Structure formats: C-alpha cells, structure tokens
Structure 1
Amino acid sequence: MNVDELVRDTLREQAAELTAPGPGFADRVLAARRRRRTRRLASAVAAATVVVAIAAAVPLLDTGKEDVRPAAVLDGSGVLAHPDQSPPRDLIAAGRSVLAAHYTAQPVEGPDGRAVLTRTYWLLDPRTGKYEEDDRWSFVAVAPGARTAAVLERELPARRIGLLDLATGRVDRWITVDHGVGGLAFSHDGRRLVATTYREHPDLMVRMRDEAGGVAWVRQFGGTSSRSGFHVLEVADGRGTWSPVAERRDVNGRQDFAFSRDGRLVYAQVVGERDGMQQFHDLAGTPVPAPAEERHLRSDVPARLSPDGGLAASGLTAEAGDRSWSAIRDPRTGEEVARVRGGHLLAWADDRRLIAWERAPGPGEYRPRLVLVTLGSEKVLPLSGVREPDESSGTVEWEPVFVERRP
C-alpha cells in the first residue's frame, strides 16, 4: 500500500467515526501542531489525522488582518468559504453564523389556473458539511445549532409541523395544530416556535400584463393577505396556544411572524414608508410598541441586533461603483455609529463582523456574492460565488438561511 492509499483509507475510516469535537478542540489541535514542529516527526497516518482536524481552516478577517484557525463543522468559530461555488455545495460559515440551508423558488401553475411560488431547499448535512436537496418541504426553519429543522409539507396551509433531524433526514416528531400554518420561526434560544397561520396558501401569485403585452406571474402584495394569527409552541412537547391577529391592509400575501430577541413579543413586516416597517404584537396577538432595543431595527435587514445587543444592522446608506455601505446604528437611539461594507446585511459573525450580500467587482448588472465584512475596514472576504441574475419570470434565485452555530 503506498502513502496515497494509506492516507485515503485513514481519512475514510475517521470520517465514518467522526463526531463533533468538544470544547477546546481548536487549542488542542494548534498545540499538537506546535509539538510536531518541535519534534520534526512525520508519518502518513499522522498527516491524515491533521488533514481531518484542520482541512476546514481558511483566512479569517479581524479588523483588516488575516489569521488562520481550525474550524469544526458546527461548533467552531472560524471561517469556511467557497468563493467558487454558487449556489454553495459545501459548508459556508463565519464566526457564530452558519449557512444552514439555501433555497430557490419558482411559480408552479396548478389545475385551478392559479400559481404558487414553490420553494426547493438544499439543507446542510451536519455530518458531511454538504448541502443536499430535499424537495419534500414547502417551508423550512432551522433551529440554532443547525441540527434540527421545523418543516411544513407541500400543501399549505399545513395542519402539522415536522421536527426534522438534519443528520438523518428523518422527521423525529410531528406537532399537530388547529389552524393551518404557512410559516415558521424559532426563538433565539431554540426552545419555541412561532407558526404563522393563514386561511389560504401565503405564496399565491397573480397574472400581470407588462407594457409589451406579455403576461407574468407576480406575488400578491399589500391588502391581500389571508394571515389569521400565530401559534406559539414549545418544541419539547408541542404544546402551545393560538392567538388571532386582526386583518390589515399593509401586509403582503406572506408576512410571517418572528420572535423578538427576548422572546416576549413577535413582530412582522408591514408595507409602507415608516421607520423599520415592522409591527410588534404581544403573545396574545395585540399590537404593541416595539421594545426599546429593537425600535430602530428594520424588518427587511435580517442581521438585526449584534450578539451582545449593542449594535443594530441597518439598511443600505451609500454606493460608489461596485462598493456598497450599510449603516450600523445605536439600537436605542437610532443614531448611526458606523458604516460597514455590504449592500444587504444578513447575519452577525461576532460583534465586529457581519455576513452580507455585496456586489461583485466589475461593471455591468448587479451580481451579488456572500462576503464577510468588518467594522472599521473596507476589506471584504468572499464566502460564496457570484449569484447570477435569473431572467425567468417570477423565479427567486438562491436565498441563504443563516443560523447560529452552537456546541
């Protein structure tokens, strides 16, 4: 057996037995590397072990400087980038955030002559670090830690919610509900679900005729939502309550609820020019003012509050050529305290870095890619390849789903 064969067989055996490393894994790996360099020993089997431990390491941004650190699949804190992949096939992560899934959506016309914007998901397999297509689900929400997902079957509104084990691809348990569900979101601690209820499919589309006389499918906009309320459910036992929500004309066909940071309220986007474009409700469904720390957030900026709650991601504030800047605000006053590269802020990697969509360099049409950006630096680190524009009418190009990765 030659060295290549030995390394390959060793990797295969270790991959079959691989489990998530425990706390201090990164320090142990680095210490082991230092000892090996000191002793200047090498062997094929030892080399295979090192490959398994550190193959995921890539450059890490820290206020403009680069570092290299090992990263585990889900409980690490390093950066895993694949700037040659769009949509991603292999794990993308940075700091506390991991790309847990991505999806596309396109209109599918039914026998009744109506169309539904239908999603297809690619879900992260936490054992392999790869995204696998799973066309069983109309909607997927991934829990913090990226090991479990809440799923809805194809027919919406759905009368049951599945809890999917992302490693096995099997539904461990179903939660039945009294009101049909169209959207899902986990609480910040992952212990509860808010399930938005609708009287009919929230992704119905209507035909529109353009100036040239062509016909296209477009999503339903303000004033046409069938949203009826929301369930708040305990993930552990499926118990919970349903709260009705009054109809309003400033919501779109799909306008799902999500939890506030502390889980005491829920909020959803509203249509209009008012600051933040968000309306909060208490858990009984009554509209209430926004909590102080979320008053100046925008519902269309997914990153929202920094991990320590001290900064608020805000919207696009400046563009120049192929560079964009978004505002970072004081969450309690709304005052702009910094600007950061990126046209659309998606998730916080830590209290100084964010994952964003940013325009790829070069002239021409808007072609975004996922990047890691840092407060106080104009440098960007590409995480994905460029998302090419799709000319298909009504089609949604691949959209990322980020969650917090936890031990």
Structure 2
Amino acid sequence: MIQNEMSRRRLLGLGVGLGAAATLTLAGCGGGSSTKGSTAAGNGGKDYTGPKVDLKLWNGFTGGDGDIFKKLVEQFNSEHQNIAVSVITYEWQDYYSKLPGAVTSGNGPDIAVMHMDQLATFAARGVITELDDVAKALELSEGDFAPTVWKGGIYHDKRYGIPLDMHPMGFYYNKAVMQKGGLDPNKPPTTKDEFTAALTELKKAGVQGFWVSPFQFTGGMTFYSLLHQWGGTLFDADVAKATFNSDPAVEACTWLVDLIKQGFSPANVGQDADYLALKSGKNAFNFNGIWQINDLKKSPSVQWGVAPLPQIGSQKATWANSHNFTIVKQRSADNNKVSGAKVFINWLSQHSLDWAKGGQIPARKEVREGAEFKALPEISALAPELEYAAFPPAAPGLGEVMTTFYNAFNEAALGKKSPKQALDDGVNKANKQLEDNRKKYGN
C-alpha cells in the first residue's frame, strides 16, 4: 500500500537523513584558478548582459512539484535569451549521493537546490560558493524573509543559500471520522486538553484517533516538533552536545508513547500507515508534511482539513525544512555562468507564488503576505507556522546524527526501550558522532 508518490514525498524533507552521502571527501572541489568569461558584469544577480550561457540545474522535485518547477524554468528561459537553464532531476536520495562525485569529476551542475540542513555540509566541503553578493546586490535582508529561514542559509558567517520556501508539518483531520466521534468537524483541537478529549471521544466510538508512527516519517518528526513544544532542544547552542534526552524531551516522548499504551493508537504502526488510515477513515488526526495537501486534493471522497499543529506543550513549535538555491563551485570558474546563475536564482525567488502551488510556503515575506497566496487556503493555513518553525541547525555532517535521533524515538515507540533509556542511548551515540564531525570538518 505504500505508494511511490508518498515514498517520494518522504524524501522531500529528507535533508536530515542523507548527511552520510554528502560527507564524502571532495578533494579538488572548487580547485583550480582558471577563470573564463571575464566579460560578465557580476552584479549579484540584478541582470546579465554577457554572451549566452547554458546552465545545468540539479533538483529533487520528481512529483507534481517538479512539473511546476520545470514550467517556471521554461518561463525564465523564454524571458532570458542569453541564459538557458536545463533541469536535471533525481530522487533526493540519489541526488545527494551523486552530487559530491559529480563535482569532483567536473561534471557537477551550475545551480543546485538544497535542503537547509545540507548547506553547512556542502559549504564545509567546498562544494558550493558564497552568495553574500547576491543578497547585497538585490538588497535582500532578514526582514524580507522569516528570520529562521534567512539565518538557515548562513554557515560561518557567510551566506551559501538563498531560501526559496519552507515546508512544515501540518495537522490533518478527517472530518467524517470526527463526526463519528461526536466532534465538531470544523473545530480541530488546538491544545493538549482538547486533543486528549477528542481522542477520548473517538475511542468511545471505537476509533483509535491518532496513530503514532515509529518511523521518521512521520512519528519521528512529530516527536521533533513536540520536543521543541515542551521547550527542549536537540543540541546545545554550539551543536557540540546532543540534548534530546533532557527532561522536556523525555516528557514529550513519554506523552507520545503513552498514546499507544492507552489505546489511542495501535502499536507497531507501519510506514505511511498513519497517513493511509486518515485517508481511509480509520483515524481522525495525522501530523504530516505540507506536501500531503496536493495528494489529498486528488481524493475528492475524503472530507479533510488542515491546520497548524496543536500546541501540546508549553509553546508552539513544528518541524520544518527549507529549499535553498546554491551555486556549485567548478574546477574552472566561468564568471558568465556564475552571473547567469545568480540572475536565475533571483528571478525564481521573485516568482515563488507560482512555486507555492506545488505545496510550499514561499520564503519571501511580500509573496507570503499577498492576496494571491492567501487565496491558496490549505497551504496558506500553515504559513503562521513559519514564525515558530524549528529548523535544523547549520552544522556539517548533521544527517547521520539526526538519523540517530530518529532511531532513538523508533526504539521508544516500538517499546524496545523506555523513553528515557532510548533517548539516553541515542544521545551517547550522537555525541560520539558530533565529536567525529568536529574532527572531520575542523569545527
């Protein structure tokens, strides 16, 4: 029952689990001092007046969002006779594993779309180039974006990514199942007490209302969100020590595991089974990524709604990630290509309203606050989460550590260990990985 589309969607936010592929040694990346195309003005992306350049762009948009992305590129090409962008698309997992070797061999792309939590790794390895001049020339600042998204593109006080969007978790609810439990289908729970009360009523009606998945997608991401809602963090401020076994973290994990013990959720939920149950009317609630909106729109028989995550802990928080544009370093730098790439990045950032229709929240504030974006009801409903989204920190090699975090939750959710033991063991392993990363990346 696991659909290919959902398998692809699981990788949409999967910068976090792919760090190992990006940590390959990139000897020679960005090496060489040969420079071509010195005729380009190099004004940070305002315009390009040099000779025609052909640019390769790598991305991982393999579903419906990919079709929208390609149409935007076609529009760009039609408006810029001296810049031709060709799109090369891979599954995200393949994308991140192929990129290091391609760059080393001189066959890498000119532009690469990258998840926020991958920027630090690729910047540390010298794969992508600095973009401070783009931000300066286009007069972009933190005020034009949500602060968390803007800061996520910075590594060692230098900008490596221009944010395009953010994709958070949303709270999906099946209205028909809510009615079965005697609940108001137009008033999803927004607090811990309301959520628990709703689950209790659903249980009386014979419905296990919220299925806790032991997998990263989506149980681990739910725990990630609730850990921050309880006031915890995954790491200390310097990302030198893991802290996801703190008292708030244990409380959040215990609360989720107790939903299973109390019968509000079945045990041993399979991958994607929580979401499939929502679609088939077997449960009422599901925490899942914004990317499921377009999937649910393909099922007109399902009566559903989406809202920001309920506040279960002491503060609002949600898991989120962001796509950023980057420019890849080349063995032989071509200033014309670099200048053309910057023009493309700026253009697509300005057209992020069209991109939002693919199931993303635009990073640019002016687009997000416009009437046209607000006319996209389901997607714009999750826009408020941008202000309190918990993005992964900018630290190289973080992917392997995040996998350890999600594995710790998996052991707790499956009942293999108590929440505290699972998180303690996970932190011990994560701290060793963080120490190895400091040696590997010189941080």
Where relative contact order (Cα < 8 A, 6+ residues apart) is larger, the structure is 2
Q: TM-score, normalised to structure 2's length?
A: 0.24
Q: Which has the higher strand share?
A: 1
Q: TM-score, normalised to structure 1's length?
A: 0.25
